[in-house]
């Protein structure tokens, strides 16, 4: 155990020494990694905030139940009981037809026309808030309630929910594709960086192999170098996103006030931040592993 710890401690210290020995090239590589990682991570953060903002603006989709004109108070009571017991219904509100007519009279500017009517043409209605706002669940609930007795019509305004769900799905796909492409690019950056380091230390590596050094012993400092470079790039990406959120929130404050919204961009969660750091570290390690494995195989064949 002590030997294992001493080997890894030596490799870590050697990687830090090499990283600090070329500060300017190392800093440029870390900044490139940070900027590249900030793009998909920032897109992921924006999608989460847009989904939250849509809830502030649009609220949850509602279903409007219009009862048949010959419905009686017992029918209204039965429908209310069924809605109260339904597992997909979060809350509901009953709107009597007399109250609906009065609202129409006051809000439409057609008071004279309403007063001239011989009878109330509006039906009793229920407005329902569903527990699940998934468009598929809403459509199923719509079809089920439409079959109930004394229900003349059920209106579901879920078009905005479907559009939003489609846009968010498209956005997630775009972020995923961008993350995959940039991941390959970052692996290539680390691959080339480690390759240049190996070429500058080629004589040292060959001498080490002649005196019995294993490939693992030679590979280990380069792997630590790549992992440290990737992890530091992940920290830079986090700082870039934090700075972008800080600057954007100052501009969004005035805009949100115009719409009477209390909205601010939220940073990545602690779990997402940890995933970002682990992923960036893994990318650096993978690029280093591919590079040093390729170079060592070439050295052994010579």
Q: At what angle do helices 2-21 and 23-58 cross, to 10 degrees?
A: 90
When pLDDT is averaged across residues 213-239 and rounded to a whole number, the result is 87
Domain shared by 290 and 266, yes or no = yes
Domain shared by 180 and 282, yes or no = yes
Domain shared by 66 and 124, yes or no = yes
Task: Choose one of 157, 192, 221: the last residue of a domain.
Answer: 157
Whether 112 shows a pLDDT value over 60: the answer reads no
Domain shared by 201 and 269, yes or no = yes
Domain shared by 148 and 258, yes or no = no
Domain shared by 49 and 89, yes or no = no
Domain shared by 274 and 214, yes or no = yes
Domain shared by 248 and 276, yes or no = yes
- The whole-model pTM stands at 0.66
Q: What is the pLDDT, as a whole number, of residue 158?
A: 59
Range of the structural domain that residue 254 is part of? 2-57+162-301
Mean pLDDT in the chain? 80
Q: What is the pLDDT, as a whole number, of residue 160?
A: 63
Q: Looking at the 3D structure of the chain, how many domains does it have?
A: 2
Domain shared by 99 and 187, yes or no = no
Task: Choose one of 157, 184, 212: the last residue of a domain.
Answer: 157
User: Is 35:240 a contact under the CB 8 Å cutoff?
Assistant: yes
Whether 255 shows a pLDDT value over 70: the answer reads no
Provide, rounded to the nearest whole percent, the portion of the chain with pLDDT above 90: 12
Range 253-281 burial, b when 16+ CB lie within 10 A, else e: eeebeeeeeebebebbeeeebeebbebbb
When pLDDT is averaged across residues 209-232 and rounded to a whole number, the result is 83
When pLDDT is averaged across residues 233-250 and rounded to a whole number, the result is 89
Domain shared by 26 and 88, yes or no = no
Task: Choose one of 104, 136, 157: the last residue of a domain.
Answer: 157
Question: What CATH number is attached to the domain comprising 107?
Answer: 3.30.70.3040
Question: pLDDT per residue over 133-166, tens digit each?
Answer: 677 777 888 888 888 888 888 887 656 666 777 7
Whether 299 shows a pLDDT value over 80: the answer reads no
Question: pLDDT per residue over 178-218, tens digit each?
Answer: 889 999 988 988 888 888 888 877 777 777 777 777 777 78
Domain shared by 49 and 95, yes or no = no
Question: pLDDT per residue over 53-65, tens digit each?
Answer: 665 555 566 788 8
Q: How confident is the model at residue 235 (pLDDT cuts 50, 70, 90)?
A: very high
Domain shared by 214 and 139, yes or no = no
């Amino acid at each position: 155990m002590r030997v294992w710890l001493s080997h890894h401690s030596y490799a870590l210290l050697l990687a830090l020494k090499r990283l600090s020995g070329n500060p300017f090239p190392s800093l440029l590589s870390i900044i490139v990694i940070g900027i590249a990682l900030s793009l998909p991570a920032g897109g992921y953060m924006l999608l989460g905030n847009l989904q939250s903002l849509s809830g502030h603006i649009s609220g949850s989709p509602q279903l409007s139940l219009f009862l048949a004109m010959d419905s009686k108070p017992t029918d209204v009571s039965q429908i209310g009981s069924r809605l109260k017991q339904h597992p997909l219904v979060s809350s509901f509100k009953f709107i009597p037809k007399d109250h609906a007519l009065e609202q129409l009279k006051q809000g439409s500017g057609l008071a004279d026309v309403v007063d001239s009517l011989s009878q109330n043409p509006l039906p009793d209605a229920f407005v329902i808030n569903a527990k699940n706002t998934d468009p598929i669940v809403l459509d199923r609930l719509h079809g089920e309630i439409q079959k109930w007795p004394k229900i003349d019509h059920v209106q579901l305004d879920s078009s905005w929910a479907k559009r939003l769900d489609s846009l968010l799905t498209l956005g997630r796909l775009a972020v995923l594709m961008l993350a995959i492409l940039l991941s390959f690019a970052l692996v290539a950056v680390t691959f080339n960086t480690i390759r240049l380091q190996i070429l500058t230390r080629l004589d040292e590596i060959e001498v080490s192999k002649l005196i019995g050094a294993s490939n693992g012993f030679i590979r280990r400092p380069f792997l630590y170098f790549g992992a440290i470079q990737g992890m530091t790039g992940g920290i830079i990406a986090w700082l870039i996103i934090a700075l972008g959120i800080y600057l954007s929130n100052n501009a969004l404050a005035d805009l949100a006030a115009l719409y009477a919204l209390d909205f601010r961009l939220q940073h990545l969660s602690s779990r997402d931040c940890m995933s970002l750091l682990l992923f960036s570290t893994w990318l650096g390690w993978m690029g280093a592993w591919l590079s040093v494995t390729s170079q060592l195989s070439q050295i052994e064949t010579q």
